[in-house]
Amino acid sequence: MAIERVKPKLVFVHGIGGRRDAQAELTDWKRALAEGARESGYASEISALTADWSADCSFAYYGDLFASDRQPQGSAGAEGLDGDQAEIVLGLLEEFLSELAVLPAHRDNRRLARIRAQVRPDGEAQGIGNAGRHLSSLLAAVASVPGLSWGARKLSQRELLGILSQPGRYLRRAESDESGRTLDQRIRERVLDCLDPGRPTIVVAHSLGTVVALEALAEYRGPVELFVTVGSPIAMRGFIWPLLRPRPPATPESVAAWLDFRDGDDVIVPKRRLADVVAPNTAGVQPVPDRLESALFWSHNATTYLRRQEIAKPVMETLTAWTARS
């Protein structure tokens, strides 16, 4: 009697952003990973990846939860955030500007230095009612600084707010629905819904999605053969790291291997390495860091990361190893 092979799962978790076509995104992410697979010597496995023969692929989509809540993404402006949310976003902006300022192109940018000094002019929190207005003026100032452009587009005030406000809203642990589930709970449920405890899984998460995936996997008991984080802000010491759950942050028990990739020019990723701060699980698994160099003006895009052979290779190795064992 033939034994049916258990097909593994490959789950992608996106970062910030509002409504999007989840199926189109899944296709784009698989194609990007396939490009990296070709460069890493797995050209013969590309069809199996893109056609879901080697693994059932899912895209954990939650952008609509931000867009449909009381604070639609990008529509209300910074003044629409409550006091606690605005304070979190101010902290994220502070770290974002600090990372930006150390890049060679901006080390002598006096205008950027003045804006950094204005984030916390007295070293104190802004107070309820003031933080949103202060944040709004800072975002406008940052968006107007000459030279802060990546590729063909300039990061506008709304785009900056998009980068910063969604982590703030997630970490606020508020915005409950009719059943009492907070926004962060509903977002994690989208990830957990893509997982299957009866099958081995690879999870590839980007940006805010790395925070979401880390917390979701802490609740998960199925086998995760490989956890890949790219462009992760998890180690931001001021306003992400201290708000993570559970405390202290550790590798989820379900994870057998964790690889963390950051581009040297990715201003969303702090210099502090996850490997230096995340505690191991009981199996001794910790994030293994890898620094990439792309020389791009804007290196934070998920598909930019996935096209790298350094990232595609371990994903393909894990898939083919599981296929060989089955």
Q: How many CB atoms lie within 10 A of CB 77?
A: 17
Q: Residue 309 — very low, low, confident or very high, per pLDDT cuts 50/70/90?
A: very high
Angle separating helix axes 157-172 and 183-192, nearest 10 degrees: 90
Residue 297 confidence (pLDDT) above 90: no
CATH of the structural domain 9-66+180-325, one choice from 3.90.79.10, 3.40.50.300, 3.20.20.70, 3.40.50.1820: 3.40.50.1820
Q: How many CB atoms lie within 10 A of CB 316?
A: 24
Residue 298 confidence (pLDDT) above 70: no
Of the candidate ranges 47-61, 114-128, 130-144, 239-253, the one whose mean pLDDT is the lowest: 114-128
Give per-residue pLDDT as tens, 219-239. Answer: 999 999 999 999 999 998 877
Of the candidate ranges 27-31, 81-85, 226-230, the one whose mean pLDDT is the lowest: 81-85
**What pLDDT is recorded for position 286?**
97
Q: Residue 300 — very low, low, confident or very high, per pLDDT cuts 50/70/90?
A: confident
Residue 124 confidence (pLDDT) above 80: no
**What pLDDT is recorded for position 77?**
56
Give per-residue pLDDT as tens, 252-270. Answer: 999 999 999 998 877 778 8
**What pLDDT is recorded for position 157?**
59
**What pLDDT is recorded for position 65?**
92
**What pLDDT is recorded for position 6?**
83
For the segment 98-117, the average pLDDT, to the nearest whole number, is: 80
Question: Distance (Å, rounded) from C-alpha 160 to C-alpha 137?
Answer: 12
Q: How many CB atoms lie within 10 A of CB 45?
A: 20
- Integer-rounded Cα radius of gyration of the chain: 20
Question: Distance (Å, rounded) from C-alpha 136 to C-alpha 120?
Answer: 14
For the segment 91-110, the average pLDDT, to the nearest whole number, is: 78
| Contact yes or no for 280/251 (Cβ under 8 A) | yes
Q: Considering the chain, what percentage of its residues have pLDDT values greater than 70?
A: 82
Torsion angle defined by CA atoms of residues 267, 143, 97 and 147, in that order, rounded to the nearest 10 degrees:
70
Q: Residue 293 — very low, low, confident or very high, per pLDDT cuts 50/70/90?
A: confident
Q: Residue 140 — very low, low, confident or very high, per pLDDT cuts 50/70/90?
A: confident
**What pLDDT is recorded for position 128?**
43
Q: Residue 11 — very low, low, confident or very high, per pLDDT cuts 50/70/90?
A: very high
Angle separating helix axes 83-101 and 131-143, nearest 10 degrees: 30
Pairing of strands 149-150, 153-154: antiparallel
User: What amino acid is encoded at 302 in this protein?
Assistant: A
**What pLDDT is recorded for position 276?**
92
Write the CA distances from 270 to 103, 203, 206, 263, 267, integer angstroms. Answer: 12, 22, 14, 10, 7
Q: How many CB atoms lie within 10 A of CB 106?
A: 18
**For the chain, first and last CA: distance in Å?**
15
**What pLDDT is recorded for position 90?**
78
Provide the sign of the torsion angle of the four alpha carbons 255, 253, 291, 104, taken in this order. Answer: positive
Beta strands in 103-183, from DSSP E residues, in sequence order: 149-150, 153-154
Write down the mean pLDDT value for the chain.
84
Question: Distance (Å, rounded) from C-alpha 110 to C-alpha 155?
Answer: 19
Tokens 């802004």 locate to 126
Both tokens of 204, joined, read: 């590839």
Residue 202 confidence (pLDDT) above 80: yes
For the segment 90-117, the average pLDDT, to the nearest whole number, is: 80
Q: Residue 5 — very low, low, confident or very high, per pLDDT cuts 50/70/90?
A: confident
- Parts of the chain belonging to CATH 3.40.50.1820: 9-66+180-325
User: What amino acid is encoded at 310 in this protein?
Assistant: E
